[in-house]
Amino acid sequence: MSNKWLRKTLIILLSVIMMVIAGREFLIWLNEKEPIVEGPGVTRVAKLSDYFADLKGTALDTNIYILEGEEDGGAVMVTAGVHTNELSGVMTNVILIENAHVEKGKVILIPFANNSAFTAGHPGEAYPMRYHIKTDWGSRWFRFGDRYTNPIHQWPDPEVYVHYPSGQSLSGFDIRNLNRTFPGKADGTITEKVGHAIMQVIEKENVDLFIDLHEAEPMYPVINTIVANQKAMDIAVIAEMNLSAFEGIKIGKEISPENLHGLTHREVGDHSRALSLLAETCDPIQDPLRGRTDEALIITGKDEFILKAAKLGLLYVPFDETGSHIDVRTGRHTSTVLEIISAFSELYPDKEIIVSDAPRYAEIIEKGVGYFLLKPRG
Amino acid sequence: MVTLIYYLFCAFVAILLLWNFVEEENLYNEILYAFVLMPFILRILRIY
């Protein structure tokens, strides 16, 4: 072999080695999922594709954890991971899956609603792909993803996304935003199919109450709040009063705008019998003002630039040196979910839902999120 | 259909880069072509 071909062979070999190393990491990001322990209260684990077969075998199929009580009552669905960089909702779902018992009624939990978005990072944002929660026995890892479905799974974006069925025009990339594609479309894009599948679960499981958990950046006005469809406003009012009076959680409430389509609080309420609400906490990693973007920011929510903005009065939430820790955010969401369920049960006693063994805000802050995460087998 | 055209286009560009790599005599350009080829191959394999 001449020197020229020997050189070319060596260069190609080096490229292949680098491709294998990078490709292996990309494949892990695409396929590896965090272990979730089915707690003693879980009575069934289903898949989204069990309710809408088109999702079977796709990257967007996801687990549904169902906790059923011995007594009949109402049914509540709690979704998280609709936006996969808003993690306190995921933590709340996982804590409920691994700890809660349902005495009356049914609780349906979808912790990773947009499973594809968990496999992608937001371009240009330098997001970590994973984060770790310390526990008494070690640590648990979780995926940290993008706001949008991975373009590997849905491409290309249109110039303008026309929402179905309202016909409202939105930015082209919002066609991959699950919280802009409700109530979904059976023959639409894969993200619209997920919206449709969740609506199918709501219909087939006779869901009465729907809660979607999100987070927002501190400079965004819709934060630390409950957004309610008009049919669920009374529930939001009672939950807000009780959270403030009994747990010291200051939370706002607002009504879902009637002409802003595709969001869960609007479409689930309008296209099903379920009463729909959405809750937001404060998530500094999403704020464009933030500094270093790393796992510590995900967990502690401490950032010197956001702190400066707070001192200048630019934020919509109180923010100080303690940041916005994951324990605080998860505690807020968990108490909000439990209080919304309690308010619903108070207003609709024939559909009462009783959940026990779920920690609330003060307990989560005292013990930390990690205390409530079980050790996976193996 | 658009996705299929996109992947065919990626494969076409990858073949062009490979062809240039084979024809190239300059070491630095050879390394450049080999490195630029990598994301195209990973995209065709739907890994990246």
- Per the structure, the count of domains in chain A is 2
- Taking an 8 Å Cβ-Cβ cutoff, which residues of chain B contact chain A? 2-3, 6, 21-22, 25, 27, 30-31, 34-35, 37-38, 41-42, 45-48
The residues, any chain, with a CB within 8 Å of residue A314's CB and separated by 6 or more, are A219
Span A341-365, pLDDT tens digits: 999 999 999 999 999 999 999 999 9
pLDDT tens readout for residues B11-48: 999 999 999 999 999 999 999 999 999 999 999 998 87
In this predicted model, what pLDDT tens digit does every residue of A244-261 receive, in sequence order? 999 999 999 999 999 999
Q: Give CA–CA dist A332/A224, Å, rounded.
A: 9
pLDDT at residue B1 tops 90: no
Cβ contact A254:A229 at 8 Å: no
**Cα–Cα distance measured from residue A276 to residue A26, given in angstroms and rounded to the nearest whole number:** 36
Please indicate whether, in this complex, the C-beta atoms of B46 and A18 are within 8 angstroms of each other. no
| Secondary structure in 3-state letters for B28-46 | HHHHHHHHHHHHHHHHHCC
The Cα–Cα gap between A265 and A69 comes to 26
Are A231 and A289 members of one domain?
yes
Chain A residues in contact with B48 (beta carbon < 8 A): 22-23, 26, 152
Q: Which of A83, A77, A86 is nearest to A340 (CA)?
A: A77
* Same domain, yes or no: A266 and A324: yes
Question: Is A119 within a domain?
Answer: yes
| Structure-block tokens of residue A209 | 């109450």
Q: Answer positive or negative: Cα dihedral of A149, A222, A215, A238.
A: negative
A250: which 2 tokens?
A: 């200051």
Instruction: Tell me: do A63 and A207 sit in the same domain.
Output: yes
Interchain proximity A26–B45, CB inside 8 Å: no
Q: Given this model, what pLDDT does residue A122 score?
A: 84
Total residue count of chain B as it appears in this document: 48
Predicted confidence at residue A14, as pLDDT, reads 95
Average pLDDT over residues A180-189: 98
Phi, psi of A169 (to 5 degrees): -90, 135
Of the candidates B27, B35, B46, which has its C-beta nearest A7's C-beta? B27
Task: Tell me how far apart the alpha carbons of residues A362 and A329 are, in angstroms, rounded to a whole number.
Answer: 12
Percent of chain A whose predicted confidence (pLDDT) is above 70: 100
A377 in a structural domain: no
Distance from the A155 Cα atom to the nearest Cα atom in chain B, whole angstroms:
7
Is there a domain that residue A183 lies in? yes
Sign of the torsion angle spanned by Cα atoms B10, B15, B19, B22 = positive
pTM of the model: 0.94
Q: Find out whether A7 and B24 touch, Cβ atoms under 8 Å.
A: no
Minimal-distance CA residue of chain B relative to A153: B46
Could you tell me which residues of chain A have a Cβ less than 8 Å from any Cβ in chain B? 4, 7-8, 11-12, 14-15, 18-19, 22-23, 26-27, 30, 152, 155-156
Residues A206 and A236 in one domain: yes
Q: What is the pLDDT of residues A305-338, one digit of tens each?
A: 999 999 999 999 999 999 999 999 999 999 999 9
* C-alpha torsion sign, points B22, B24, B25, B26: negative
Q: Please tell me whether residues A253 and A305 are part of one structural domain.
A: yes
What is the model's pLDDT at position A89? 98
CB contact under 8 A, A19 and B46: no
Let me know whether A116 and A194 are in one domain: yes
CB contact under 8 A, B42 and A26: yes
Q: Same structural domain for residues A174 and A104? A: yes
Per-residue model confidence as pLDDT tens digits over A119-153: 998 888 889 999 999 999 999 999 999 999 999 89
Kindly state whether residues A70 and A209 are assigned to the same domain.
Answer: yes
What would the mean pLDDT of A105-122 be, rounded to a whole number? 96
Residue A257: domain span: 45-372
Q: Is A207 inside a domain boundary?
A: yes
Does residue A62 form part of some domain? Answer: yes
Does A222 share its domain with A301?
Answer: yes
**pLDDT for B48:** 77
Whether A36 is in a domain gets the answer no
Which DSSP string corresponds to A235-278? HHHHHHHHHHHHH----EEEEPPTT--S-HHHHHHHHSSSEEEE
Question: Would you say residue A378 lies in a domain?
Answer: no
Cα of B9 to nearest chain A Cα, Å: 14
Q: Which residue has better confidence, A1 or B30?
A: B30
- Confidence (pLDDT) at B3: 84
A2 — pLDDT class (breaks 50, 70, 90)? confident
The confidence score (pLDDT) of residue B2 equals 85
Residue A365 lies in a domain: yes
